[in-house]
């Protein structure tokens, strides 16, 4: 009989120990995530009285898969549509918390006499709370569906997005560059570009594919298809410079808008629980008692910094975003830990050779301790609020409940202009992203193929014509969409002074459409600039005049909206939700 691979033995040990410990924690009415961390310490090399895991590298790979599936489940349970409904509140809270916690981390690092680069990277690590740990804690404690939990998850998702920008800034600082340079702007634009592209294309295609294959899909095949899409988006995400977990979350948020979302959540739950357990056990394996003793003072200081900083500054961040004091305290107390993105930032600093070797293990230990304390911090929020309410004057409580940066909605003509400009801007941006993506695909894949099959210049001419035809519905939508909206008509008829700026909005969008056609013709043909401008203008005019393009554009947009609302429509049909 062949020997059993070490990974199987390790997995058996992890699951058996984790099972025993979690049963004990369940009996003691403690969160399961703490049991997983304790189980990780028991099977680690730092525990001399029990057998240690042999193949730690493979366990780490499985743990990364666990993070991916946890974020995929988070996306299924909490889509981008929910974030958009919350408005600017999560953005205000996320930016204020990141700025305050990063500043606090830099100050603490300087107090210990660490190098400047160690302090800067430490600030970045303390600024990022753990989406995975908080999601699991909310799940274990039955708080996932509460309103404050939704706000926390919105802020955490935005933090994960901003973490990518922060890493670009830290890389620029470490290389002696300027963090306010064009590299940072390009990074932000790249994030926004791919988020819009993935979401729009995903919402359009994936529900369509699932509907067409519904009669061939049962529970087993739906699970395989869902996990396959999750892993595919994780791969695509890493290829363009993001994390695999971020890609998994995006795919989860896309599938969350499909009719099959509830079924997918139930099917994925056991897989998420298995790999999630391995992830939290791997976190517990990082606890080193020797390191705890050697760096006890800095570790204790950092743990207190995170707990007190998030409890106070995090609460203030949520207060100014428009939350009540009670809700803000529950949100701020919930975020009192650091996690996976802190490890990534620490790894970045080590790979660049700009931070000390001690910082990574210190941050890992701090992460484990704060993870262990997370459920207790969540539970402590309400008693802390009640104590504050008893001790603080009532007028102060009232002022804090109304402390917000949100501005009241504008009225009258200003409101119409604001609404119209926002709608035009969003419409133009989305269709510009789609046009850029389609053009890039044609130039990258179709053009080389055409040049191998057809002689020049016919290959380039064919590619130019097909590319313009492909993006023509998008270009027409850029120019014509919202020109017949209620706001546009009202502004046009109310005041003659409104007409020049309204015409200007049309001209700006016309120039954007012309720029696309001009670029394609200029890239693939040898015509002079004047002729190219004439051809581009003629092509855009034909697009505007074409009724078939208009019908196609409307049909595509209606299909997208129907896919986006398919889950809500099904809930209304079955009587689970009132119609809009």
Please tell me the distance from the alpha carbon of residue 151 to that of residue 323, in angstroms, as a whole number.
9
For residues 331 and 151, is the Cβ–Cβ distance under 8 A? yes
Whole-angstrom CA distances from 100 to 159, 314, 352 are 13, 8, 25
> Residue 409's pLDDT is what?
45
> Residue 408's pLDDT is what?
46
What b/e readout covers 281-297, taking b as 16+ CB neighbours within 10 angstroms?
Answer: bbbbbbbbeebbeebee
Tokens of 405: 């940066």
Complete DSSP assignment for 179-222: TTSHHHHHHHHHHHHHHHHHHHHHHHHHHHHHHHTGGG--HHHH
What 3-state class would DSSP assign to 321? strand
For residues 243 and 65, is the Cβ–Cβ distance under 8 A? no
Please tell me the distance from the alpha carbon of residue 112 to that of residue 118, in angstroms, as a whole number.
11
Q: What does pLDDT average to in each consecutive run of 10 residues of the chain (580 residues)?
A: 70 85 82 78 76 71 80 75 70 86 88 86 86 80 80 82 73 61 64 78 81 80 88 85 78 82 86 82 77 84 90 86 83 84 75 77 83 86 84 76 55 69 84 85 84 79 83 84 82 81 85 84 70 71 74 75 68 57
CA dihedral 261, 262, 267, 270 (to 10 degrees): 110
Please tell me the distance from the alpha carbon of residue 315 to that of residue 101, in angstroms, as a whole number.
12
Dihedral-angle region of residue 107 (phi above 0 means left; psi in -120 to 50 means alpha; beta otherwise): alpha
Please tell me the distance from the alpha carbon of residue 325 to that of residue 277, in angstroms, as a whole number.
34
Residues 6+ apart with CB under 8 A from 156: 129, 130, 131, 134, 135, 335
Rounded to 5°, the CA angle 494-497-499 comes to: 80
> Residue 577's pLDDT is what?
58
Closest by Cα among 305, 485, 293, 319 to 402: 319
Please tell me the distance from the alpha carbon of residue 81 to that of residue 147, in angstroms, as a whole number.
15
Please tell me the distance from the alpha carbon of residue 275 to that of residue 269, in angstroms, as a whole number.
10
Find how far residue 540's CA is from the centre of its chain. Answer: 36
> Residue 86's pLDDT is what?
65
Please tell me the distance from the alpha carbon of residue 8 to that of residue 315, in angstroms, as a whole number.
45
Tokens of 457: 């210049």
> Residue 345's pLDDT is what?
79
- Say which residue the tokens 């830099």 belong to: 106
Beta-strand runs (E) in 86-136: none
pTM summary value: 0.72
SS (H, E, C) 435-477: HHHHHHHHHHHHHHHHHHHCCCCHHHHHHHHHHHHHHHHHHHH
Please tell me the distance from the alpha carbon of residue 376 to that of residue 565, in angstroms, as a whole number.
38
Closest by Cα among 315, 319, 340 to 329: 315
Please tell me the distance from the alpha carbon of residue 109 to that of residue 120, in angstroms, as a whole number.
8
> Residue 575's pLDDT is what?
59
- Say which residue the tokens 């499909």 belong to: 258
* Residue 242 DSSP class: S
For residues 365 and 299, is the Cβ–Cβ distance under 8 A? yes
For residues 488 and 482, is the Cβ–Cβ distance under 8 A? yes
């Amino acid at each position: 009989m062949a020997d059993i691979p070490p990974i199987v033995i390790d997995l058996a040990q992890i699951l058996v120990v984790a099972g025993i410990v979690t049963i004990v924690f369940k009996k003691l009415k403690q969160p399961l995530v703490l049991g997983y961390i304790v189980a990780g310490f028991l099977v680690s090399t730092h525990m001399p009285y029990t057998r240690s895991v042999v193949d730690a590298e493979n366990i780490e790979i499985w743990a990364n898969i666990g993070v991916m599936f946890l974020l995929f489940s988070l996306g299924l349970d909490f889509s981008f549509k929910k974030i958009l409904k919350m408005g600017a509140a999560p953005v205000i809270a996320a930016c204020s918390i990141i700025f305050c916690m990063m500043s606090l981390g830099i100050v603490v690092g300087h107090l210990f006499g660490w190098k400047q680069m160690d302090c800067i990277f430490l600030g970045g690590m303390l600024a990022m709370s753990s989406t995975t740990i908080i999601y699991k804690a909310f799940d274990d404690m039955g708080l996932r569906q509460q309103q404050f939990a939704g706000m926390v998850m919105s802020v955490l998702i935005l933090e994960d997005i901003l973490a990518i920008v922060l890493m670009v800034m830290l890389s620029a600082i470490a290389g002696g560059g300027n963090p306010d340079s064009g590299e940072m702007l390009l990074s932000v634009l790249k994030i926004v570009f791919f988020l819009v592209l993935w979401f729009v294309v995903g919402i359009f295609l994936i529900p369509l594919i699932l509907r067409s294959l519904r009669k061939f899909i049962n529970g087993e095949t739906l699970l395989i298809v869902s996990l396959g899409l999750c892993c595919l988006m994780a791969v695509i995400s890493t290829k363009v410079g993001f994390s695999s977990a971020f890609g998994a979350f995006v795919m989860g948020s896309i599938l969350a808008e499909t009719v099959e979302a509830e079924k997918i959540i139930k099917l994925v739950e056991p897989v998420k629980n298995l790999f999630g357990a391995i992830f939290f056990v791997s976190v517990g394996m990082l606890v080193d008692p020797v390191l705890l003793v050697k760096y006890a003072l800095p570790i204790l200081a950092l743990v207190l910094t995170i707990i007190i900083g998030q409890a106070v500054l995090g609460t203030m961040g949520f207060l100014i975003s428009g939350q009540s004091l009670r809700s803000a305290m529950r949100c701020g107390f919930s975020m009192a830990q650091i996690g996976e993105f802190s490890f990534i930032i620490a790894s970045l600093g080590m790979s660049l050779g700009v931070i000390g070797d001690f910082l990574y293990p210190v941050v890992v230990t701090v992460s484990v301790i704060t993870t262990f304390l997370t459920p207790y911090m969540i539970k402590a929020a309400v008693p802390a609020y009640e104590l504050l309410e008893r001790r603080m004057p009532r007028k102060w409580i009232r002022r804090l409940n109304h402390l917000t940066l949100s501005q009241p909605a504008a009225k009258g003509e200003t409101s119409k202009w604001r609404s119209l400009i926002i709608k035009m801007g969003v419409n133009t941006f989305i269709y510009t992203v789609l046009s850029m993506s389609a053009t890039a695909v044609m130039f990258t894949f179709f053009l080389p193929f055409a040049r191998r099959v057809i002689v020049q210049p016919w290959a380039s001419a064919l590619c130019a014509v097909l590319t313009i035809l492909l993006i023509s519905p998008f270009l027409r939508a850029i120019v014509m969409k919202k020109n017949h909206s209620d706001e546009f008509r009202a502004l046009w008829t109310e005041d003659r002074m409104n007409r020049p700026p309204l015409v200007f909005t049309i001209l700006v969008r016309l120039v954007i459409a012309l720029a696309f056609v001009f670029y394609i013709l200029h890239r693939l043909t040898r015509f002079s600039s004047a002729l190219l401008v004439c051809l581009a203008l003629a092509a855009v005019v034909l697009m505007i005049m074409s009724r078939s393009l208009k019908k196609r554009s409307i049909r595509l947009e209606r299909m997208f909206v129907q896919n986006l609302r398919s889950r809500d429509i099904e809930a209304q049909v079955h009587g689970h939700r009132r119609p809009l």
